[in-house]
Amino acid sequence: APDIDVNKVKAHLQEFQAIAERNGGNRRSTGTGYDQSVAYVKGKLQAAGFTVTEQPCTSGCTSGSGPNVIAEWPKGDADSVYMFGAHLDGVSAGPGMNDNGSGSAALLENALELARQNPTMLNRVRFAWWTDEEQGLNGSDFYVRSLSSGDRAKIKAYYNFDMVASTNGGYFINHINSAAAAPMKEYWASLDLAPEENTEGAGRSDDYSFERYSIATSGYAMGASARKTSAQAAKWGGTAGRAYDPCYHASCDTISNINLTGLNRASDGIAYTLWEQAVGDEAPAD
């Protein structure tokens, strides 16, 4: 798998920060900051060769919410799909750089790197940037509900990325002992990070929309408002007794509220997982 350049991920975050600043300081799903975030992601994907779908959320979303953004890489077995998603909206309190510019940017750079490398694919990869997560996982719920049961059955796993750069964070994996989580865990274990189950995030982000339909889910997170334990501070560093992200849903969730080391490790683990699941170690050369 390629090494994702964290400086490129950071450059996407800087664009999201600038978008928030031009639009009243936030990127909430019903605002122009969200619309411009959609346009930025879509523009980068299209320039890389993706066909990009804006899916309007016509039921269950907050009135006036912008669309989901969906981009499938058009190679590999279309009946065997691995999805990677992140919510693109934020709360109204601030620019939403860790929550969830971090996951959105890590995913975007992975999509762009896949297009640059253009490997022979075994399986399909589909990327999604969700709307209106903050009001109840609404964009992802609409997406999964809208699929036919046949199309749902083609999704072999969904990987979620919500808050992957918390400044006092830990290394958390959703459903860490599941088969779907194996490559995510393998990558962070290879860095000796001793990842733990994402108990704080259970049922609280877009992976839950898939889980409710019995689709296998996993993902990375570095934590929100829960506090780091002393055992966690001993193994990961940081401050025990303090929130994983002290700027969770606050105005200080700016580009300064980003843990670049964590962001790099999440970005690279996404690439590792994508390659393992969809490119395949033994993929024959073209």
| C-beta closer to Zn ion: residue 227 or 249 | 249
Which residue in the set 104, 174, 257, 264 belongs to the binding site for Zn ion (CB under 5 A)? 264
Q: Which residue is nearest to ligand PHE (CB)?
A: 201
Q: Which two tokens stand for residue 137?
A: 């996982």
Give SS3 for 127: strand
Q: In terms of DSSP H, where are the helices of the chain?
A: 6-22, 32-47, 102-117, 138-146, 149-153, 182-190, 207-211, 230-236, 260-274
Contact present, 98 and 257 (Cβ < 8 Å): yes
Q: How far is the CB of 273 from ligand PHE (least distance, A)?
A: 19
| C-beta closer to ligand PHE: residue 99 or 211 | 99
| C-beta closer to ligand PHE: residue 123 or 140 | 140
Q: Which of 111-122 are b and which e, b meaning 16 or more Cβ less than 10 Å from the residue's Cβ?
A: bbbbbeeebebb
Candidates 72, 109, 133, 211; catalytic one:
133
Element (H, E) at 197: strand 196-197
Question: Between β-strands 51-55 and 172-173, what pairing exists: parallel, antiparallel or unpaired?
Answer: unpaired
Q: How far is the CB of 202 from ligand PHE (least distance, A)?
A: 8
- Quote the CA–CA distance of 18 and 63 in Å, as a whole number: 25
Residue 100 as a binder of Zn ion (CB under 5 A): the answer is yes
| C-beta closer to ligand PHE: residue 179 or 202 | 202
Q: Which two tokens stand for residue 156?
A: 């072999």
**Could you list the residues that contact ligand PHE (CB under 6 A)?**
99, 133-134, 162-163, 200-201, 204-205, 221, 224
Does the annotation mark 21 as catalytic? no
The region of 143-151, 214-222, 265-273, 277-285 touching Zn ion under the rule CB under 5 A is 265-273
Question: What x-and-dash track marks residues 138-167 binding Zn ion by CB under 5 A?
Answer: ------------------------x-----
Catalytic positions, please? 133
